[in-house]
Structure 1
Amino acid sequence: MKKERQIAMKRLAAVMVSSAIALTACGGQGASSGEYDANSKATITWLNILHTASPPTDTILNKLEEKTNSDITFSWIPDASKEERINTALASDSLADIVTLTMLDNSSVRNSLKSGLFWEVEPYLKDYPNLAKISPDTIKSASIGGKLYGIPFQKDLARNGVTLRKDWLDKLGLEVPKTTDELMEVARAFTEDDPDGNGQDDTTGFVDRNDLVYGAFKTLGSYFGTPNNWQVSADGKMTPEFMTDGYLKTMNYMKQLYDKGYMNKDFAVTAKTDQQQKFAQGKAGIYVGALFDSKNLLNMSKGVQDNMQLVMANDITSTGKESDRAIWAANNGIGGLLAFPRTEVKDEAQLKRILQFVNDLLDEDSYALMTYGIEGTHYKLDDKDAATIINTDLWQQEVQPFAASRPKESGFKIHDADPLKQQADKMIADNANYAVLNPAYSLDSETYNTQGSELQKIITDATYKYILGEIDEAGFKEALETWKSSGGNSIIAEYEAAYKQAQGQ
């Protein structure tokens, strides 16, 4: 009965959080002591985030199960609704053996981690060869209150930059921009000077989405010197990013793009998939986001914009000075946690077996499966360990949904043969030299834990309203005062105290 249920669940198109309660009944393999058999087959349920339109078929799943000696049942949550769904799952205790938590700044998530709902795992890492390689800095950044409540997703430190239509630049006689003013001029030209040569007014410079973090706003903010979430002074005073000059300059820049029509007017309600489709269809020529998205954008353009050529920029500043170059580091290189609820992982033996499973996901073979698929079916490999996808449609259906589930995304021998992806990887590595960290990422604030998400909404709403022209600078400052009086002042004070304590003051 239990096995039949697992098989049925695997065949569902998508299993939402409402189904997760059913999964908890069949999760884990249980044991009566801290000892476990590393060679025993594990039965594992996984509440995971889906970043593609549909979940994968069983092809790669079956290979992963064979590789890790496990029987895995996924419960997929669409990325667009992850905050609501994860909050609901935490509140209703409808979880799974493994829970993907990507929003470590979410109040509900932080409270659940601090409450003891999940196992603390740092003491166990040394017992597993791949987990033991996780750096102390990564562990520190991923910890809350000094404790590590899951295996961190190890991401590249700073992945973002600007992708532009090179063929449009060439047609209009423009160079790759080095400053925000030059970027604005490119946006103007891509909007007004008919870059696709069809004689119609049907293009914009930027195409952006409804995300002030992973969309254009935060990367542009880096170019204007905005700190990464928080700024700390020499004497330990903490200032939120939205109270800095850089943040205001970024809002003004975005407002100018919006007012002049140099970006899509519907950016505030545009999803990431729609943003990428608009770019791939030739409706815009500037995309701000992860640099490795360039390869995907070019692939998406096949059959629609076959003449598309792309170029990337990661060295833009507002001043033109190399010394001012900066790029925000997303969560200090932490993509979230693979966390293990005590309600599902009943004892230490079961925890150890699941940690063995995660350790196995960090093997080269597992990474290759979750990134490229099966050699000869999805990709081919040359004598330099460079992989080329040979069936894009099949890869998108069977492999791509697993990419976001990799506990680590770089540092493996196998690599992409695509020149654009190789260039993106080099630029991302270069970004690390200019990465701006969030000094408060591993600090704890009780007020933030309980009210942080609600308070952030005040700032997010005010930022959008400012860009859209619904409020002026005075109105934005009113929102700042509301944030401070509603709990923001307490967050500042608590972070300052936590920072001083962490510095041994």
Structure 2
Amino acid sequence: MLKKLFVFMIGLVLPLVFLASCSGKEEVASEKTSSKQDRELEISIMMHFDGIEFPQKGNDVEKAIEEYTNTKLDIQAAPGATFSEKLPAVIASGDMPMVIGMNQYREPYMINAFRGDLFWEIGPYLDQFPNLSSINPVIFDNISTDGKTYGLPRMRPLARDVYTYRKDWLDNLGMKEPETVEEFYEMLHAFTYNDPDQNGKDDTYGMTVEKEGLINRFAPLFGAPNGWDEKDGEFIHTTSTPEYLDGLKFFKKLYDDGLITEDFAVIERSQWEEAFSLGKAGVWPDTSNSIVRMYNRIREHDPNAELGAFSLLEGPHGKRVPAGGGHNGIFVFPKSSIKTEEELLQVLGFFEKLQEEPMHTLFKWGIEGKHYDLVDGKPVLNEGADLHNEVILPYTLPLGIVPAETNALEGELSPLEKLELELPIENESFAIHNPATRLISDTQAEKGPQLNTIISDANIKFIMGQLDEKGWKKEIEKWRSSGGDKMGEEYAAEYAKLEK
């Protein structure tokens, strides 16, 4: 009887011991997993920085990013020119950080690096990240190499060209904002000859122009392709179309009639902007994100100045605006420093968290109590806070993926701030895309700058009357025979491969 009781008791105790043992192991395993998840992820990032001096390590903004994303950041930031010089050597060395932000992804050495499997193809993983996968697929297409996605784009609007103008001048003249090419010409003519600033002096002109930048706007407006056009697999360059010449002739008319910058072929960007900010020119063609910045600048010289902006004009072929790539460079992820898929997913997770509301609010407004305060639940910038140098330049611009205003807390927007957001959206329906953006041409990589110079010089000489139409067409034939036609053939071959 005692023996049976002993066996019965053992039968009861052993399972309990076993369960306790398993429970202990599960707790240890759970602690290990939790510890792994809670551990800070160390991320090294190399990127360019367009400010004067990158903030010291441990500043409030960087600490806020690290705390929210559970990371320890090692940021190597360099000015654009220095960064571009260093990058090829860094890629060639194989000793790369975990993340590189760059604009040079179409350079031959980068194309070879992608094809040589030095960087992760991230396309297959993006559907795991709702914020990153929400990016317009056109943008991912534009940054692809051989149809594969190797980078995260630093998004910006696909079509962001606008014309910022002196609204007070237009009001003085009793004119309305132009809606057609003809009305645009009349506006520039009045800004030049009708004393729009009412100072009794002949000291203004229509539009400040830098080199031939407006050709890229006017040619599509007059019906030309945006760079290249694809028809039945053949690639046709914009300069081969009569519509391009129509746009060039319109530019020449503006020049001949004295409505644009006389020395447009040689002025620097600073002079181009200054002509508008100092009240010499009435229109400044730039991008949508520059409107408020220019308003703040111009009010320093003229507190009574008022600005307006528009983007679309009705031309001979309707409303058309050239589209860009929709990004300002990409982030790539070297396999030499990110060894496994698990590590890659963690790094992509960091960028996913950067798109959430607290980080977008940080990128848009800075640190609460330092850069802004909440007033009735809305962020209001503090006077004297250096948001631009402490947040925007070092973090928002170089680290941003989805634009910060997408998920950030909303503040009270001025009419011009609303315009900055609305005009690119309005443009998208009329955007003319360049089908060659995603394609690779060896000729473009090798001779692109030289070939572009042939067209640029021919355009400038035509506008200034140093070449007639026949002479201009002869220069375009020179461009074609020097590599332009070959470039089109290479784009067509690449296009055929991707379409299969």
Q: Quote how far apart the aligned CAs of 1:92 are.
A: 7.3
**Counterpart pick for 1:407 among 397, 401, 416:** 401
What is aligned with 1:172? Answer: 173
What is aligned with 1:419? Answer: 415
**Counterpart pick for 1:221 among 215, 219, 222:** 219
**CA shift in 2, pair 1:38/1:482, >3 Å:** farther
What is aligned with 1:21? Answer: none
What is aligned with 1:124? Answer: 125
Matched, 1:351 2:347: no
What is aligned with 1:445? Answer: 441
Q: Quote how far apart the aligned CAs of 1:128 are.
A: 3.2
What does 1:54-453 correspond to in 2, within 5 Å? 55=54, 58-68=59-69, 69-78=71-80, 96-107=97-108, 109-210=110-211, 215-233=213-231, 235-319=232-316, 324-331=318-325, 333-345=326-338, 348-381=341-374, 387-391=379-383, 394-401=386-393, 402-405=395-398, 406-409=400-403, 411-415=406-410, 417-453=413-449
CA distance in 2, matches of 1:43, 1:170: 56
What is aligned with 1:10? Answer: none
The AA in structure 1 aligned to 2:177 is: V
What is aligned with 1:50? Answer: 49
Q: Give the stretch that moved more between structures: 460-469 or 142-151.
A: 460-469
Counterpart contact for 1:44–1:71, Cα < 8 Å: yes
Counterpart contact for 1:216–1:289, Cα < 8 Å: no
Q: Quote how far apart the aligned CAs of 1:426 are.
A: 1.9
How many pairs are equivalent? 459
SS of the equivalent of 1:288 reads: strand
Alignment root-mean-square deviation, CA? 3.2
CA deviation string 1:440-474 (max 9, x = no partner)? 22233343344434433433343344334444433
Q: Quote how far apart the aligned CAs of 1:285 are.
A: 1.5
CA distance in 1, matches of 2:280, 2:243: 29
The AA in structure 2 aligned to 1:73 is: I
Q: Normalization by structure 2: what TM-score?
A: 0.81
Q: Quote how far apart the aligned CAs of 1:297 are.
A: 1.0
CA deviation string 1:33-54 (max 9, x = no partner)? xxx9554334434333334565
Q: Give the stretch that moved more between structures: 345-354 or 308-317.
A: 345-354
SS of the equivalent of 1:303 reads: helix
Matched, 1:487 2:488: no
CA distance in 2, matches of 1:90, 1:478: 41
Q: Quote how far apart the aligned CAs of 1:97 are.
A: 3.4
CA deviation string 1:98-129 (max 9, x = no partner)? 32223555555545444434322112223334
**Counterpart pick for 2:451 among 455, 480, 502:** 455
The AA in structure 1 aligned to 2:248 is: M
Give the % identical residues: 31
**CA shift in 2, pair 1:106/1:468, >3 Å:** farther
Q: Give the stretch that moved more between structures: 87-96 or 491-500.
A: 87-96
The AA in structure 2 aligned to 1:207 is: T
Q: Quote how far apart the aligned CAs of 1:381 are.
A: 4.7
Counterpart contact for 2:358–2:408, Cα < 8 Å: no
SS of the equivalent of 2:66 reads: helix
Gaps of 5+ in 1: 1-35
Q: Quote how far apart the aligned CAs of 1:85 are.
A: 6.5
Q: Quote how far apart the aligned CAs of 1:325 are.
A: 0.7
CA distance in 2, matches of 1:363, 1:131: 11
CA distance in 2, matches of 1:372, 1:239: 45
Counterpart contact for 1:466–1:472, Cα < 8 Å: yes
The AA in structure 1 aligned to 2:77 is: S
Q: Quote how far apart the aligned CAs of 1:91 are.
A: 6.6
CA distance in 1, matches of 2:269, 2:492: 35
CA distance in 1, matches of 2:245, 2:332: 37
**CA shift in 2, pair 1:47/1:486, >3 Å:** farther
Q: Quote how far apart the aligned CAs of 1:392 are.
A: 6.0
Counterpart contact for 1:77–1:85, Cα < 8 Å: no
SS of the equivalent of 1:307 reads: coil
Q: Quote how far apart the aligned CAs of 1:413 are.
A: 4.8
Q: Quote how far apart the aligned CAs of 1:365 are.
A: 1.9
Q: Quote how far apart the aligned CAs of 1:149 are.
A: 1.2
CA distance in 2, matches of 1:86, 1:268: 31
**CA shift in 2, pair 1:411/1:467, >3 Å:** same
SS of the equivalent of 1:257 reads: helix
The AA in structure 1 aligned to 2:433 is: L
CA distance in 1, matches of 2:227, 2:105: 14
Q: Quote how far apart the aligned CAs of 1:168 are.
A: 0.4
CA deviation string 1:405-453 (max 9, x = no partner)? 2111153253452221112312221211111112222233343344434
Q: Quote how far apart the aligned CAs of 1:169 are.
A: 0.5
The AA in structure 1 aligned to 2:364 is: T
CA deviation string 1:466-490 (max 9, x = no partner)? 3344444334333322332232222
Counterpart contact for 1:120–1:148, Cα < 8 Å: yes
Counterpart contact for 1:108–1:450, Cα < 8 Å: no
Q: Quote how far apart the aligned CAs of 1:171 are.
A: 0.9
Greater Cα radius of gyration, structure 1 or 2: 2
What is aligned with 1:25? Answer: none
CA deviation string 1:23-79 (max 9, x = no partner)? xxxxxxxxxxxxx9554334434333334565456443333233332223232223x
Q: Quote how far apart the aligned CAs of 1:286 are.
A: 0.5
**CA shift in 2, pair 1:307/1:441, >3 Å:** same
What is aligned with 1:478? Answer: 474
CA distance in 1, matches of 2:468, 2:84: 30
CA deviation string 1:249-268 (max 9, x = no partner)? 23223333334432233444
The AA in structure 1 aligned to 2:392 is: Q
CA distance in 2, matches of 1:108, 1:421: 40
The AA in structure 1 aligned to 2:218 is: L
Counterpart contact for 1:194–1:200, Cα < 8 Å: yes
Counterpart contact for 1:121–1:150, Cα < 8 Å: yes
CA deviation string 1:336-383 (max 9, x = no partner)? 311123455455454343322222222222222222212343234555
